[in-house]
């Protein structure tokens, strides 16, 4: 293996020795002159000892580590890592089930594949590269997905137009790398969803809310439900199955509202309990009545960066405060943050502030997080992003 090299400054190998999978650009003392974004590179400490091998990229994260062992990053490597990811999903009883064929197969650092996300919808895997290195190796990865999943995945759709660094200018296009299938209905816990992997947000669906949607189903009976930021209507469809008396879905995107309507219709044709509205969440809540007794707040990440944190926290407080103000006595609020830059305690403080402003008694019933197919590498706590609270408002 004749790899290009990055040598670290003194003392800068410590976090890598504890398996943190990133090298920051400030830690680099020297590097091969011809190093290109997306190259495989070996990382050495200041004494020249091998530390790791990974993908080089331009930016503050300079290397994303693939292995802390000295090994070739070849076809066998991809099959082995993706095979490990697949067997975890079998252990979790997500793969190979009749009533569920939606799950995350690869969750970046959580599956020791930084820069790669793969979501599965039936026989199709939708793959996203978040680094140029993963983009460069997309063909080998697509083959490995097919080989490692025992014939269960036959199509690999590549969707990286919006996730790759803009400056890399790779001219890549979205499309099938293997197979090809027009089938785009997948099943989550026995409920059917249209998945728009061609144009939808992320890989077409928010796979990470599966367990939380199930929990909501258990609270839905006899309640009137407001699902804010509904996207494809996941929470709405579970609420309908759970026996809600009424479900209103709101999203600012009219495409999302069309998808939500289609998904409600797919599972509960002609069910008049559901209605959907394309409107800004804050505007909708301001003019909403006080009739809802279950409200879901699942906004997009308010803080994409640390700098945006203060405003993001204010945003969460403002949003939750209106929900507390409006909800019926005894009502339930499911409230989430998917901002990685906002930690559990900060989010809880923002919600606490909202509760205090509303002057109502609020109890925490559940503390929610991302599901097991979005695992967190313990050496990479940055991988924890989704948090939620289920609250009862007296
Ligand atoms: N709860 C969804 C995922 C929500 S993603 C699920 O389970 O699948 C966040 C959604 O918020 C997106 O669909 C986006 O269109 C919507 N959104 C963003 N800003 C908004 C705003 N100001 N008002 C209403 N919806 C908004």
Lowest mean pLDDT among 101-110, 254-263, 297-306: 297-306
pLDDT in tens, 267-291: 999 999 999 999 999 999 999 999 9
pLDDT in tens, 114-134: 999 999 999 999 999 999 999
Whether 188 is in the pocket of ligand 1, judged by its Cβ within 6 Å, is no
The set of residues, in sequence order, having a beta carbon less than 8 Å from that of 181 and lying 6+ positions away, is 123, 124, 154, 155
- Position 167 scores a pLDDT of 64
pLDDT level of residue 168 (50, 70, 90 thresholds): low
Atom of ligand 1 nearest to the CA of 253: 15
Instruction: Show the tokens assigned to 390.
Output: 């289920």
Going from the Cα of 368 to the center of ligand 1, the distance in angstroms, rounded, reads 19
- Does residue 383 carry a pLDDT above 90? yes
Atom of ligand 1 nearest to the CA of 235: 7
Name the architecture of domain 75-188.
2-Layer Sandwich (3.30)
Nearest to 331 by CA among 295, 355, 305, 367: 295
- Does residue 1 carry a pLDDT above 60? no
Whether 281 is in the pocket of ligand 1, judged by its Cβ within 6 Å, is yes
- pLDDT, mean over the chain: 95
- Does residue 368 carry a pLDDT above 70? yes
Q: For 105, which DSSP code? A: E
pLDDT in tens, 197-211: 877 888 889 999 999
Atom of ligand 1 nearest to the CA of 227: 1
Structural domain boundaries of the chain?
4-67, 75-188, 206-393
For the segment 237-259, the average pLDDT, to the nearest whole number, is: 97
For the segment 324-336, the average pLDDT, to the nearest whole number, is: 97
Which CATH code is given to the segment(s) 206-393?
A: 3.40.50.150
Q: How would you write 64-82 as a 3-class SS string?
A: EEEECCCCCCCHHHHHHHH
* Gap between the Cα atoms of 17 and 32, Å rounded: 22
* Gap between the Cα atoms of 230 and 250, Å rounded: 6
pLDDT in tens, 33-75: 999 999 999 999 999 999 999 999 999 999 999 999 999 999 9
- Position 192 scores a pLDDT of 98
For the segment 174-192, the average pLDDT, to the nearest whole number, is: 93
**Residue 340 and residue 301 in contact, taking contact as beta carbons nearer than 8 Å:** yes
* Gap between the Cα atoms of 224 and 273, Å rounded: 9
Burial of 46 (0-12, 13-18, 19+ CB in 10 A): middle
* Gap between the Cα atoms of 343 and 193, Å rounded: 31
The more confident residue out of 183 and 223 is: 223
Going from the Cα of 303 to the center of ligand 1, the distance in angstroms, rounded, reads 14
Whether 234 is in the pocket of ligand 1, judged by its Cβ within 6 Å, is yes
Classified by CATH at the fold level, domain 4-67 comes out as 2.30.130
């Amino acid at each position: 293996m004749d790899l290009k090299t990055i040598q670290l400054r003194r003392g800068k190998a410590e976090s890598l020795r504890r398996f943190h999978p990133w090298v920051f650009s400030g830690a680099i003392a020297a590097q091969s002159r011809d190093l290109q974004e997306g190259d495989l590179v070996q990382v050495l400490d200041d004494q020249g000892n091998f530390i790791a091998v990974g993908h080089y990229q331009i930016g503050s994260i300079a290397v994303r580590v693939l292995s802390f062992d000295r090994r070739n990053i070849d076809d066998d490597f991809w099959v082995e890592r993706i095979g490990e990811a697949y067997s975890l999903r079998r252990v979790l009883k997500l793969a190979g089930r009749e009533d569920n064929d939606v799950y995350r197969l690869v969750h970046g650092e959580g599956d020791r594949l930084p820069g790669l996300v793969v979501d599965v919808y039936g026989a199709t895997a939708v793959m996203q590269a978040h680094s140029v290195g993963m983009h460069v190796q997309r063909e080998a990865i697509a083959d490995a997905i097919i080989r490692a999943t025992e014939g269960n995945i036959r199509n690999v759709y590549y969707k990286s137009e919006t996730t790759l660094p803009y400056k890399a200018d790779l001219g890549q296009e979205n499309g099938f790398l293997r197979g090809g299938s027009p089938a785009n209905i997948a099943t989550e816990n026995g409920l059917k969803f249209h998945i728009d992997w061609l144009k939808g947000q992320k890989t077409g669906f928010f796979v990470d809310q599966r367990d939380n949607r199930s929990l909501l189903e258990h609270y839905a009976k006899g309640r009137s439900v407001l699902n804010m930021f509904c996207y494809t209507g996941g929470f709405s469809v579970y609420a309908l199955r759970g026996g809600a008396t009424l479900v209103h879905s709101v999203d600012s995107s009219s495409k999302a509202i069309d998808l939500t309507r289609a998904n409600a219709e797919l599972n509960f044709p002609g069910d008049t309990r559901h209605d959907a509205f394309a409107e800004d969440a804050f505007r909708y809540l301001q003019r909403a009545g006080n009739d809802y007794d279950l409200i879901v707040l699942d906004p997009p990440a308010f803080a994409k960066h640390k700098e945006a944190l203060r405003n993001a926290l204010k945003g969460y407080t403002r949003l939750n405060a209106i929900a507390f103000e409006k909800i019926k006595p005894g009502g339930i609020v499911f409230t989430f943050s998917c901002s990685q830059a906002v930690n559990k305690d900060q989010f809880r403080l923002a919600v606490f502030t909202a509760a205090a402003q509303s002057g109502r008694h609020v109890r925490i019933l559940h503390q929610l997080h991302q599901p097991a197919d979005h695992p967190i590498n313990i050496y990479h706590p940055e991988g924890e992003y989704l948090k939620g609270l289920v609250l009862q408002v007296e």
